[in-house]
Amino acid sequence: MWSLQNLLFTICIALICVTSAVGVIHVTGYLGSEVKISCSYGPGYQSYQKYLCRNDCGSGDVLITTSNPVKNKYRTHDDKTARIFTTTIFDLHSTDAGKYWCGVTRTGKDIYTEVKLKLVPDSCCNSVKEVESYAGYSVSFSCLYESQYQNNLKYICKGTRPSICLQQALITSDNKQNGRFRLNDENMSTKFTTKISSLTQSDSGRYLCGIQRNSDLHLFCAFELKVKDHCCDTVTNIESYEGYSESINCPYENQYQNNLKYICRGNRPSTCLQRALITSNNRENGRFSLDDEKMSRIFTVTISSLTQSDSGHYLCGVQTNSDHDVFSAVELRVKEWCCVRSTEITGTVGHPLTLQCPYPQQHRDNKKFLCKGDHRNSCRDMVMSESRFALRDDIYSSSFSVMITKLEEADAGTYWCGSDSRWRVGNYVKIQLSVVFLQHTSTVASTVKTPGKTVPPTVENLGQTITSTMKTLGKTQTQTPNQPIKDSALYVLFRRSPYSAVIDRHPCGCSLQVETSQSKRR
């Protein structure tokens, strides 16, 4: 009976302890981090021992006391001036969640305050806003908050752990400028904005906007920043040819109809406007022209007289007056303009020469032509302008020929023959014509190459005899001064090119290599 009375008394004391608890304190902490549990007490108890316990607060349930303030992962501190007893729990695990008691030891029954500890993952957030920008630009994060937090501390950090965000803050509302970071708290619109200038790729990553709350976890929102060093993920490929014109179409959104448009070479958005080849404020610039079709929301840049050096990366830009402009990318490849084939032909001055030009079957009814010029844009129609050039079309062989009745030295050069007036690539033959001429002479005033040495012509030796050994009919004959060689004649074939040709075969059976001083230029 006595034991039963003791048991009932113990249960009664326990109930009295619970019911004497002065309110419930709710505390939330992050797993893997630390949490502080603070409990106040009334005046007169400053010198009393305080403790934190779990479960029924039996002797084995006491976690730490003020008389032994450091134990395992618990630390305690008693602020007797503020009459607040604080316990810090480190390295939180899921088993640390639950009910705790803050106790004040006194004679009779102790004073208890109930604490409920909730633990959440040390990460943020369920929703993450993605932001993109480019190296060299600036970017801004705007973080909304409720009006009740207008006067609370705001801050931003890089990372994903809310528990250490304030300690690692890049900037706070107490210090609104820190290097490349600037914070502006717009109390009237209940948002604060953080701006990062002169971005680099190392600025890419997760950022947390934080609002400090003294009695609970801080409030956060998350941003994912991606800083690119070039533009863009999608590139439009365009191919064209030398001498042609090409148009680059740049679409944009409706809200940018009246904004500045421009194009630059390269893939660096941060310097594109400064290096713009042309803008919508100046729609003509040399070979570049810009036309903004606002109804279709496309601006077009045309490049005329293309060269292979125009090949490369281009950015179409639209100025947005915000942290960065909007871009689209184009890769232009300019190919060499050419033909079905290229050929080299040599003709002799004063003699006829025929040039052959094939064409596609579908061009059998097209006008055929032969023109002369280093480039098709400066090409002169020879059949129309020279009576010596006659064109004959053979539709059965899908080719035409042009006969030059009497070749002249000035006829040397580059020719194009074709059947396509629009000059589409691949419908032409490129002909490089060299011209030679035949001259009959009895005196050679030129450099004569003989075995072992070369004798250049001079004023002195022009009147002298060129002595050379010639084999004729099995005999060796030596030419002496002022004595002509019997039955001799010398034919020299000259080519209109940087170097002259070989002397034609001599009647006596020899051949001489001649290089005229006029054709050899130093």
248 vs 238: CA distance, rounded Å: 8
Strand order in the sheet with 261-265: 235-241, 326-335, 312-318, 261-265, 278-279
CB-count burial class (<10 Å; 0-12, 13-18, 19+) for 224: middle
pLDDT band at 516 (very low <50, low <70, confident <90, very high): very low
pLDDT band at 230 (very low <50, low <70, confident <90, very high): confident
Phi-psi region of 452 (alpha: psi -120 to 50; beta: other; left: phi over 0): left
The β-bridge partners of 358 are 399
Instruction: Average the pLDDT over each of 52-61, 118-127, 506-515 and give the range with the smallest value.
Output: 506-515
**Mean per-residue pLDDT of the chain:** 81
Residue among 429, 279, 296 nearest 369 (CA): 429
398 vs 238: CA distance, rounded Å: 33
pLDDT at 180: 95
- In tens, the pLDDT along 282-325 reads 989 999 999 999 999 999 999 998 999 999 999 999 999 877 89
What is the three-class DSSP state of 388? coil
367 vs 53: CA distance, rounded Å: 105
54 vs 382: CA distance, rounded Å: 108
Residue 270 · residue 323 · CB < 8 Å: no
- Highest mean pLDDT out of 220-224, 225-229, 393-397, 451-455: 220-224
Residue 154 · residue 183 · CB < 8 Å: yes
The continuous run of DSSP H or E covering 181 comes out as strand 181-186
pLDDT at 321: 81
CA-to-CA dists, residue 373 to 295, 336, 370, 411, 429, angstroms:
43, 16, 10, 11, 13
- In tens, the pLDDT along 14-25 reads 333 333 345 799
CA-to-CA dists, residue 64 to 10, 59, 67, 70, 194, angstroms:
23, 11, 8, 7, 43
Rg (CA), the chain: 48
The arithmetic mean of pLDDT across residues 158-186, rounded, is 94
Q: Please, how many CA atoms are within 13 Å of residue 512, restricted to the half-sphere of its CB?
A: 24
pLDDT band at 231 (very low <50, low <70, confident <90, very high): confident
The more confident residue out of 446 and 216 is: 216
pLDDT at 383: 93
Instruction: Average the pLDDT over each of 209-218, 400-409, 477-486 and give the range with the smallest value.
Output: 477-486
Chain-centroid distance of CA 199 in Å reads 16
CA-to-CA dists, residue 59 to 63, 65, 201, angstroms:
9, 12, 57
Please report, as a single letter, which amino acid is at residue 163.
S
Could you tell me which residues come within 8 angstroms of residue 251 by beta carbon, excluding any fewer than 6 positions away?
A: 297, 298, 328
- In tens, the pLDDT along 442-493 reads 444 433 333 333 344 443 433 333 333 333 333 434 444 444 444 444 444 5
Q: Which residue has the tokens 């060796």?
A: 476
The arithmetic mean of pLDDT across residues 155-182, rounded, is 94
Residue among 288, 293, 239 nearest 265 (CA): 288
- Highest mean pLDDT out of 21-30, 225-234, 259-268, 417-426: 259-268
